[in-house]
Amino acid sequence: MANSWWEINIRCHPLLEDTVYWRTQDFGCRGTSSQYKGKNCLISAYLPQEQAQLLDLSALALWLRQDAILANLPEPTVKWNLIDEEDWSSSWKEHWQPQEVGDQFLICPAWLDVPEAGKRVVVRLDPGVAFGTGAHPTTQLCMESMEMRFDGKPTEQIIADIGCGSGILAIGALLVGAKTAYAVDIDPLCLRATQENISLNHIQPDRVHLEQGSFEKLQEMLGDRKVDGFFCNILAEVIVDLIPQLEQISHQKTWGVLSGILLDQAKAISDTLEQSGWIVATLWKRQEWCCINVRRS
Ligand SMILES: C[S@@+](CC[C@H](N)C(=O)[O-])C[C@H]1O[C@@H](n2cnc3c(N)ncnc32)[C@H](O)[C@@H]1O
């Protein structure tokens, strides 16, 4: 079958949803969707066929069972089958509906008509295979933090989005008042998604600088410029290595939003931030995730 995808269906206790989510992301899955079926959560994750053999899938199933045992929760059932590309995109698109995030945003899938948004700012998205539909608590916490910085009026602020995924944070910030966004992601498919979403939201191309890479690439793109704010929704393990470098793109009034951090990782991340000269202003929690808002002074 040309362009086939593994569809991995995991039926689990709802408390395992996030663990399953991150396990499948780590495994390389894209376009994950979840829905509630009775007392269970059914998560469907999709992976290009060539990226996993049957043995890899068995190993994934084993890890998922071990995660459940460690959490003292019932073991999930894990099944997989091959589907073609067209079925993949329609399968998960079916489950995604427009969603209000924070007080300002309405995230709307690109293939649906835009619903009545009232005063909300509509962010239209087709994430493709990238992370960032606005459904995940880590993204929502970033968007809610964004509302503290922008009120819809244009500003002169330059922001960075490190690990842009679908581009949701950069695009959201530009729609509510940022002047320019610098966005990077190590995954080339995310760049394609971000680029498409920039057009979808009618953002002038010269307001966004987008490149494949990580922090070093961002520095190269910025040259001597500093950012007024940054968003970084990546796992804590990655963030902790980035923290000592963040000063290099910042000035005395720069603010930052760091997300993708599990509650039990918050102290270590906050300590590292403070050691690097950042003031931890707020720590917002949702489910087992937290988002840390920092400022330089
Ligand atoms: C959790 S997603 C966040 C996507 C989007 N910004 C959001 O908030 O929904 C993390 C993204 O970071 C990217 N990423 C992972 N490690 C990275 C690194 N070291 N530098 C840049 N991007 C990275 C991944 O490819 C992924 O697209």
In this predicted structure, the answer to whether residue 1 has a pLDDT above a threshold of 60 is no
In this predicted structure, the answer to whether residue 129 has a pLDDT above a threshold of 90 is no
Q: What is the pLDDT of residue 235?
A: 84
For residue 127, give the 3-state DSSP assignment: coil
- pLDDT-wise least confident of 131-135, 231-235, 291-295: 131-135
Give the mean pLDDT of 177-198.
Answer: 94
Q: What is the pLDDT of residue 37?
A: 78
Q: What is the pLDDT of residue 280?
A: 97
Give the mean pLDDT of 280-287.
Answer: 93
Q: How far is CA 127 from CA 43, 89, 130, 163, 195, in A?
A: 18, 11, 5, 13, 10
Strands (E), the chain: 4-12, 30-37, 40-48, 77-84, 99-101, 105-109, 121-125, 158-162, 180-185, 208-212, 227-233, 250-262, 279-286, 289-295
Question: What are the percentages of helix, strand and coil residues in the chain, rounded to 5?
Answer: 40, 35, 30
In this predicted structure, the answer to whether residue 246 has a pLDDT above a threshold of 50 is yes
Find the 297 Cα to ligand 1 centroid distance in Å: 27
Q: Which residues sit opposite 257 in a β-bridge?
A: 231, 293
In this predicted structure, the answer to whether residue 13 has a pLDDT above a threshold of 60 is yes
78, with CB counted inside 10 A (0-12, 13-18, 19+), is buried
Confidence of residue 21 (pLDDT cuts 50, 70, 90): confident
Q: Is there an atom of ligand 1 within 6 Å of 142 CB?
A: yes
- Least Cα distance to 284 among 270, 297, 268, 271 occurs for 270
As annotated, the binding site for S-adenosyl-L-methionine includes: 139, 163, 185, 233
Instruction: Supply the pTM of this predicted model.
Output: 0.79
Give the mean pLDDT of 137-165.
Answer: 96
For residues 265 and 279, give the distance between their C-alpha atoms in angstroms, rounded to a whole number: 17
Q: Is there an atom of ligand 1 within 6 Å of 162 CB?
A: yes
Report the chain's mean pLDDT, rounded to a whole number: 91
Dump pLDDT digits (tens) for 250-283: 999 999 999 999 888 999 999 999 999 999 999 9
Joined tokens for residue 57: 């899938």
Give the mean pLDDT of 158-181.
Answer: 97
Find the 69 Cα to ligand 1 centroid distance in Å: 29
In this predicted structure, the answer to whether residue 182 has a pLDDT above a threshold of 80 is yes
Find the 233 Cα to ligand 1 centroid distance in Å: 6
Find the 162 Cα to ligand 1 centroid distance in Å: 7
Q: What is the pLDDT of residue 130?
A: 64
Dump pLDDT digits (tens) for 49-100: 888 888 889 889 999 999 999 999 999 999 999 988 777 666 667 767 888 9
CB atoms within 10 A of CB 11: 16
Query: Phi and psi at residue 207, in whole multiples of 5°?
Result: -90, -10
- pLDDT-wise least confident of 122-136, 166-180, 249-263: 122-136
For residues 297 and 285, give the distance between their C-alpha atoms in angstroms, rounded to a whole number: 23
- pLDDT-wise least confident of 95-109, 139-153, 240-254, 257-271: 95-109
Q: What is the pLDDT of residue 151?
A: 93
Give the mean pLDDT of 8-33.
Answer: 88
In this predicted structure, the answer to whether residue 2 has a pLDDT above a threshold of 60 is no
Which residue, judged by its Cα, is nearest atom 9 of ligand 1?
Answer: 132
For residues 13 and 297, give the distance between their C-alpha atoms in angstroms, rounded to a whole number: 43
Q: How far is CA 169 from CA 174, 194, 234, in A?
A: 9, 10, 12
- pLDDT-wise least confident of 25-29, 160-164, 184-188, 291-295: 25-29
Give the mean pLDDT of 135-155.
Answer: 93
